[in-house]
Every structure is written in C-alpha cells, then in structure tokens.
Amino acid sequence: MTHRRLTISEIETLAFDALSASGARADAARPLAKAVAAAEAEGIASHGLAYVPVYCEHLTCGKVDGAAVPRVTQPSPAAIVVDAGTGFAHPAIDQGFAQLVPLARKMGIAALAVRNSYNCGVLGYHTDRLAAVGLLALGYTHAPASIAPVGGRRAVIGTNPFAIAAAGKDGRIVLSIDQSASVVAKSEIGKRKREGKSIPPDWAFGPDGEPTTDPDLALKGTMAPSGGYKGFGIGLMVELLASAAAGALPSTEASPFAGTAGGPPRTGQFFIAIDAQATSGGIFADRVEALAAAIGDQPGARLQGARRAAARHAAESEGIAVPSELLARIEAIRSR
C-alpha cells in the first residue's frame, strides 16, 4: 500500500473541502475538519480521514443535516443545553463550550448537555480542550446500541465512551483518559473489516452470542464489554448522562452511525467542567503532576494520554502518512 505524507494543516483543509462539497456549511465543516486532523495527528486513524467518506455519505443521505444551526439555552444557573438540530456534534459542542468555560469559572462547576447530535468523534479531543484552559474536564457520549448485558444477547447500550482530562501548573495536559465501555471501539472493528483482517476473539460476539474473530459477524452481533459486568456498568453510567440527562434518544432507539439507513441518530453528549484549583484550595495542578510522575517514573508504565501526545509531536515535525487510496477517494469527493 502506498502512502502520501501530509501536514496537519493539509489534512484539515482536505477534510473541510470534502465536507463542504457534500453540503456542510462552513461553520459546521470547520470544527469537524479540525477534529479529523487532530485524530490523524494523534494516531487515531479510525476517527481521522478514514471517517470522512462516511461523514460525506451521511450528509448526502440525510443522516446528518449539514445546514443545521445549534440552538443554545441555559435552563438553570449552572447548566447549558445545546440542541444540535440533527447536525454534527462538533459545532454544537463548540458553541456550548463558549458558555460552559466562563460559567464553570464563575460557579465552580458547570454542565453542558448536547442533544439531537451526531457522532462526536474522539471524545478526549473535546475534554482536552477544556483541560487546556485550566478546568478538570469529564465527558460522556453514547452511541447506537451494540453491547448486551452480561448473560444477555440483545444490545441495550452503545460503546458509550467517557473521558477525563487535567492539566498541570504550566497548562500542559498531563492526564488524558478516553475509553469506551467495550473492549475496543466499534470503529476499530469496521476498520479491520475494510482492511480484510480478523479481530481478536475477546472483542465481540456474533449473532449467536459466541465470541468471533470475523469482523463482519461482530458488526452483526454485539460488542464485548470491557471487564465484563463492570464495563457494562460504566456504559450504563454514560447512558444516564449522555442520553437520559441530555434528553437524547436512548441507545436502543438511535440509528446506526454506519450505513445510510435509519435517519439521524439523535444521540447526545454530556460534559462536566470543574474549577478544581478552587475546590482543592489551589493545589490541584500540583497533585495532578505528582500523580502523573508516580505513574510515568516507573519503567514500562504507560501514562494515559502520553502516546497520543507523542504521536502529535511527531506529526507536527514529520507530517502524517495517509494511504494513497483513501486520499484519492476524498479528493474525488472534494472535486465533485
């Protein structure tokens, strides 16, 4: 497979142009294109350019409204709500963050609920942005049902990721956790299917409820929860926040993020921003750095978020290798 090496800026421009050509307004295409470029820079190819043809297909088939304008309300003193209007989650989150950040500093803690939205991509991308301005950030997003309860076969919740991010004294993000309720993100199985590769037997179950190494059967079955019943419990927590508390559709009613059937998924996101320097008496950043050092100083130990940060640093100086075939597909979309 041949590759071309692109800069982060070139990837953002390519994604923006393809999204715009498919019907997304500029204010919707830009934040999503930035997130696509960030995913590529951090080595998360499953949420990078590989997803752009899917985004564009969903713009043209009506699963996402490229002309939607998010509507922001404040139903209570410490809560912001954004209705994405079946548009992309990224512009809705951007508008919500514009009010969430000053509100969290004023109140000490504030929440943002986003409803009627589409896939928000890498959840940690959003919580990192809150941490970068000095807040302790927690994020939750649910997805179409793909995980059955332990002992069951019918999917009830999605892969339902949660993310946490915190910065140190110099504003540099020190800890960044982004993990789903499943063993692996569903997009990784889709990526293996596109590449014609098998999956490990502990990733998913086929329609018969048995473990499978076939990504096609896995996509027709259910995802394996991480840590058994504990992972399912984490997924339920996310469902309560990103779906129920945000006023979004439950995972059991949300249409798939893949394919063209079912109309807009109308899923949701939920963010909590905390002024932890205030609640800790001014020692939060010091404690975060000490905690990170206790992990990072151990030979062989991996600090959450460190791999993404290293990949981003390399991408900034060396660029990013992108499959030529994928670039050709996106160039064709951009040129139509």
Q: Which of 20, 46, 176, 182 is catalytic?
A: 46
Is residue 9 annotated as a catalytic residue, yes or no? no
* Phi-psi sector, 151: left (phi>0), alpha (psi -120 to 50), beta: left
CB atoms under 10 Å from CB of 331, counted, come to 13
Q: Which of 12, 40, 188, 289 is catalytic?
A: 188
Is residue 47 annotated as a catalytic residue, yes or no? yes
CA dihedral sign of residues 25, 270, 132, 314:
negative
Strand 173-179 and strand 204-205: pairing?
unpaired
Distance CA 208, CA 305 (A): 36
- Answer for the pair 159, 286: CB distance below 8 angstroms, yes or no: no
Distance CA 62, CA 262 (A): 9
Is residue 188 annotated as a catalytic residue, yes or no? yes
Q: Which of 12, 22, 42, 47 is catalytic?
A: 47
Residue 269: C-alpha distances to residues 27, 108, 210, 241, 291 (Å): 19, 21, 31, 8, 28
Helix (H, G, I), strand (E, B) or coil at 255: coil
Distance CA 160, CA 244 (A): 13
Residue closest to 126 by CA, chosen among 17, 242, 260: 242
Helix (H, G, I), strand (E, B) or coil at 215: helix
User: Which amino acid type is present at position 95?
Assistant: Q
Crossing angle (nearest 10°) for helices 123-131 and 26-41 = 90
Token pair recorded at residue 222: 């259910």
The DSSP string of 149-215 is: PTT--S--B----EEEEEE-TTS-EEEEEEE-SBSS-HHHHHHHHHHT----TTSEE-TTSSB-S-H
Length of the chain counted residue by residue: 336
Distance CA 84, CA 71 (A): 7
List, by residue number, the catalytic residues.
46-47, 188
